[in-house]
């Protein structure tokens, strides 16, 4: 295993250095960079599975010359699970990228792009492996910087630069909070090694523990994109090239989930008051609901997907929050179930979100636009992309028998088991969270009915869409791999859940492996067979059998009468794309019903004919959604900063003498303080 780990890291490192060192044509560099990344992806997946099955964690460390820093690596079950998630998605993204970056030839240095891509993957892998706080912060920061550089790949566009800057600022604010968290642990344990961070309850007073909880929540939450720290996400993720977006939205934000579990369950050892879990749960519920609501109003396909990441992080946190609440009350088996639900959704979201982003990338590749209103009729022109995107859409909308459904079902179960809790308040809050999750699920359904229906069905709405063609085989292969994963993960929860139990068991102090399966392993029945059971393979078989029954009934009652193909009735005139429902029109009722949240402003200008007020010559319709968080939370902060900066400008006169005086005064003050 150690050798495999070394090979994976070396492969990424080679991918980082070789394209830059060897001058070659873009095509060769493309193959070199993404080939190495794909190899590392395969290795990482194997290593992840091996790590999940291994009885003991793998640890190695390399000492450094710096004090407090050792390059310590530890591959336990939790790390293995996240390594598997990262590697699986990066494998598909790397295969996809071989075809996708051909479009960037000549515009962007492929050597640099490929090199940064490998660097990003390397740092992400190390984040989940690091076993030393100092080392963790270094690779965390590297991950942020690499991803920033990848976001600004197309830096000639001003909105990309804006997105990059926004991301850079937010991620550094987050890192600052993480540093503070680790400093608190450092103060208690006296060392930066994660081993010293574990179980600080003896050393840390109550107040400091609470502070560490909040700091970690804000710091990692900023990376995960929880509401209200999500505002950067819909800017940054879509701005990057699509295979990078897939990685950022699919797996990079998951490193924050990894870190949260590491801190709360590993470092704190699952010892916390109920309101910690409640806070995580509440943030999860609001992130899920607001994420999907803003996604619905988005007509830029990639921004829509980015908002859905906020939603899904919310769903993951619902599972983890429920787990934390159960942990507080000592209901360890339910706690394990909640954590398993959250982790399962982490893996599933990584797979289907990456698939959808790759699908969006294929649409961008084929039509050169991200605006959904300019798509249409693409299923006939791009059948493979369409089929893969449909599988992704069904999964993210949590419909059976796909993977999204299974994990959302598990989250529902853990919320429903709340009736075992002793507190009446929590007994009522958890079902309410379940109701919010139900609303989220069905809004996601509406959103992806919109995204798929408007993009892929009916008539093409623009010349771009009319001339679209299917994407090259490597891109199709990358998507097909993830589509397959969506189906496999949906049909095989009976294999996945016991594996996840191995991850969770040490943290929850309970293994529910023997209590999750019923009926010889055909059905999933978490903790209590009597309470609930689910068997996606049986449901899938049932759907196939009943579809065949429908075919049989048709044949029996009517025979297969030949279908007549004819144009759609357009009330007497020929159907044009302008008559079709638009994405904006589709979500209009939702916008109206939830207008409290959206605060929409509508502007309608009409220019009439001079002869008569009854005939309009031109109409102009505009509508805006009020970005509440940006307006009331971020803009005041930014304005405050700018004001302070303006005032501080006085001391920055640009005169060398003045600066020397500053240094002198500082020195005097420091000396006085020291005395």
Partner 1 sequence: MLQAIILVLAQTVVLLAVSPFIVGLIRKVKARLQLRRGATVFQPYRDLAKLFRKQPVVSTTTSWIFSATPYLLFATTLAAGLLVPVFASKTPLSFAGNIIALVYLLALGTFFLILAGLDAGSAFGGMGSSREAIVASLTEPAMILSIFAIALTAGSTNLSTIVHKTALLEGVAIDPSPHLMALAALFIVAIAETGRVPVDNPATHLELTMIHEAMILEYSGRYLALVEWASGLKLLVFLTLIANVFAPWGIATTGEPAAFGIGLATYLVKVSGLAVLIAVLESMFAKLRLFRVTDLLGVAFILALLGLVFFYVLRG
562-591: contacts with partner 1 (CB under 8 A): 562-570, 575, 577, 579-581, 585-590
Least distance from C-beta 441 to partner 1, angstroms? 7
Count of residues making up the chain: 675
Helix axis angle for 274-296 and 206-224, nearest 10°, is: 20
Q: Are 606 and 616 in contact (CB under 8 A)?
A: yes
Structure tokens at 241: 């090239």
Residue 387 buriedness (CB in 10 A; 0-12 / 13-18 / 19+): middle
Indicate which single residue of 36, 347, 382, 458 sits in contact with partner 1 (rule: CB under 8 A): 458
Structure tokens at 84: 């598997």
Indicate which single residue of 157, 380, 619, 624 sits in contact with partner 1 (rule: CB under 8 A): 380
- Closer residue to partner 1 in complex, CB, 242/532: 532
Residue 658 touching partner 1 (CB under 8 A): no
Least distance from C-beta 224 to partner 1, angstroms? 25
Q: Which 525-554 residues touch partner 1, going by CB under 8 A?
A: 525, 530-535, 538-539, 542-544, 546-547, 549-551, 553-554
- Kindly give the residue spans of alpha helices, DSSP state H, lying in 368-458: 378-381, 383-396, 403-416, 424-456
Least distance from C-beta 258 to partner 1, angstroms? 28
- Closer residue to partner 1 in complex, CB, 567/649: 567
Residue 398 touching partner 1 (CB under 8 A): yes
Least distance from C-beta 401 to partner 1, angstroms? 9
Least distance from C-beta 159 to partner 1, angstroms? 30
Structure tokens at 438: 């139900």
Least distance from C-beta 540 to partner 1, angstroms? 10
For 300, which DSSP code?
A: B
Least distance from C-beta 435 to partner 1, angstroms? 4
Measured in Å, how far apart are the chain's first and last C-alpha atoms? 56
CA distance 16 to 289: 39
- Closer residue to partner 1 in complex, CB, 546/616: 546
Residue 104 buriedness (CB in 10 A; 0-12 / 13-18 / 19+): middle
Q: Which 592-621 residues touch partner 1, going by CB under 8 A?
A: 592-593
Going by C-alpha positions, the residue among 484, 328, 322, 453 that lies closest to residue 391 is: 484
Least distance from C-beta 256 to partner 1, angstroms? 28
Stretch that binds partner 1, among 73-81, 177-185, 450-458, 645-653 (CB under 8 A): 450-458
Residue 523 touching partner 1 (CB under 8 A): yes
Indicate which single residue of 240, 280, 313, 434 sits in contact with partner 1 (rule: CB under 8 A): 434
Least distance from C-beta 415 to partner 1, angstroms? 9
Residue 435 touching partner 1 (CB under 8 A): yes
CA distance 114 to 29: 7
- Closer residue to partner 1 in complex, CB, 438/660: 438
For 193, which DSSP code?
A: B
* C-alpha dihedral sign at 266, 271, 276, 280: positive
Q: Are 37 and 73 in contact (CB under 8 A)?
A: no
Residue 445 touching partner 1 (CB under 8 A): yes
CA distance 295 to 675: 59
Look at residue 132 and give its three-state secondary structure.
strand
CA distance 407 to 395: 10
Indicate which single residue of 185, 405, 507, 598 sits in contact with partner 1 (rule: CB under 8 A): 405
- Closer residue to partner 1 in complex, CB, 361/386: 386
Stretch that binds partner 1, among 74-82, 112-120, 350-358, 438-446 (CB under 8 A): 438-446
- Closer residue to partner 1 in complex, CB, 401/478: 401
Q: Which 293-352 residues touch partner 1, going by CB under 8 A?
A: none
Residue 569 buriedness (CB in 10 A; 0-12 / 13-18 / 19+): exposed
Least distance from C-beta 348 to partner 1, angstroms? 15
């Amino acid at each position: 295993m150690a050798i495999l780990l070394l090979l994976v890291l070396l492969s990424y490192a080679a991918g980082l250095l070789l394209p830059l060192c060897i001058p070659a044509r873009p095509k060769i560099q493309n193959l070199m960079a993404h080939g190495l990344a794909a190899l590392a992806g395969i290795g990482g997946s194997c290593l992840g599975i091996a790590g999940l099955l291994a009885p003991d964690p793998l640890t190695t460390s390399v000492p450094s010359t710096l004090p407090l820093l050792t390059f310590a690596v530890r591959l336990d079950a939790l790390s293995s699970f996240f390594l598997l998630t990262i590697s699986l998605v990066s494998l598909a993204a790397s295969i996809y990228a071989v075809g996708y970056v051909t479009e960037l030839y000549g515009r962007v240095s492929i050597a640099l792009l490929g090199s940064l891509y490998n660097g990003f993957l390397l740092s992400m892998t190390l984040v989940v492996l690091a076993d030393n706080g100092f080392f963790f912060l270094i690779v965390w920061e590297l991950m942020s910087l690499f991803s920033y550089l990848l976001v600004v790949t197309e830096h000639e566009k001003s909105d990309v630069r804006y997105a990059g800057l926004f991301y850079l600022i937010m991620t550094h604010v987050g890192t600052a909070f993480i540093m503070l968290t680790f400093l608190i642990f450092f103060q208690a344990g006296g060392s930066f090694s994660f081993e010293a961070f574990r179980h600080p309850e003896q050393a840390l007073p109550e107040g400091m523990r609470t502070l560490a909880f909040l700091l970690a929540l804000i710091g990692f939450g900023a990376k995960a994109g929880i509401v209200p720290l999500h505002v950067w996400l819909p800017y940054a993720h879509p701005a990057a090239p699509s295979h990078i977006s897939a990685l950022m939205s699919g797996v990079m934000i998951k490193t924050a989930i990894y870190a949260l579990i590491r801190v709360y369950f590993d470092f704190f050892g699952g010892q916390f008051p109920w309101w910690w879990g409640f806070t995580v749960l509440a943030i999860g519920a609001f992130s899920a609901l607001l994420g999907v609501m803003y996604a619905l109003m988005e007509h830029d396909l990639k921004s829509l997907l980015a908002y859905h990441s906020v939603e899904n992080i919310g769903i993951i946190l619902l599972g983890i929050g429920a787990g934390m609440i159960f942990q507080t009350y000592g209901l360890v088996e339910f706690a394990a179930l909640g954590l398993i639900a959250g982790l399962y959704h982490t893996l599933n979201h990584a797979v289907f979100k990456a698939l959808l982003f790759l699908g969006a990338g294929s649409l961008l590749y084929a039509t050169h636009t991200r605006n959904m209103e300019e798509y249409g009729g693409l299923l006939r022109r791009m059948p493979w992309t369409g089929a893969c995107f449909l599988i992704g859409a069904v999964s993210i909308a949590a419909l059976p028998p796909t993977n999204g459904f299974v994990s959302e079902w598990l989250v529902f179960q853990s919320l429903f088991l709340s009736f075992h809790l002793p507190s009446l308040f929590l007994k009522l809050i958890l079902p309410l969270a379940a109701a919010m999750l139900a609303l989220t699920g069905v809004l996601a359904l509406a959103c992806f009915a919109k995204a798929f229906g408007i993009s892929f069905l009916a008539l093409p709405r623009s010349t771009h869409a009319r001339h679209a063609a299917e994407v090259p085989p490597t891109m199709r292969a990358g998507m097909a791999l993830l589509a397959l994963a969506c189906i496999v993960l949906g049909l095989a929860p009976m294999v996945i859940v016991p594996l996840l139990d191995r991850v969770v068991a040490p943290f929850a102090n309970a293994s529910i492996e023997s209590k999750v399966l019923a009926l010889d392993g055909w059905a999933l029945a978490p903790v209590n067979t009597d309470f609930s059971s689910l068997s996606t393979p049986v449901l899938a078989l049932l759907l196939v059998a009943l579809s065949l029954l429908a075919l049989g009934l048709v044949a029996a009652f009517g025979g297969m009468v030949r279908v007549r193909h004819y144009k759609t009735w357009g009330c007497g005139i020929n159907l044009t794309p302008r008559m079709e429902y638009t994405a904006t029109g589709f979500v209009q009722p939702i916008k109206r019903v939830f207008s409290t949240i959206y605060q929409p402003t509508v502007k309608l200008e009409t220019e009439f004919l001079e002869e008569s007020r009854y005939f309009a010559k031109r109409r102009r319709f505009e509508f805006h959604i009020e970005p509440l968080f940006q307006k009331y939370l971020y803009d005041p902060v930014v304005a405050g900063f700018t004001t302070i900066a303006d005032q501080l400008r006085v001391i920055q006169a640009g005169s060398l003498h003045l600066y020397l005086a500053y240094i002198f005064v500082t020195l005097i003050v420091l000396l006085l303080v020291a005395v």
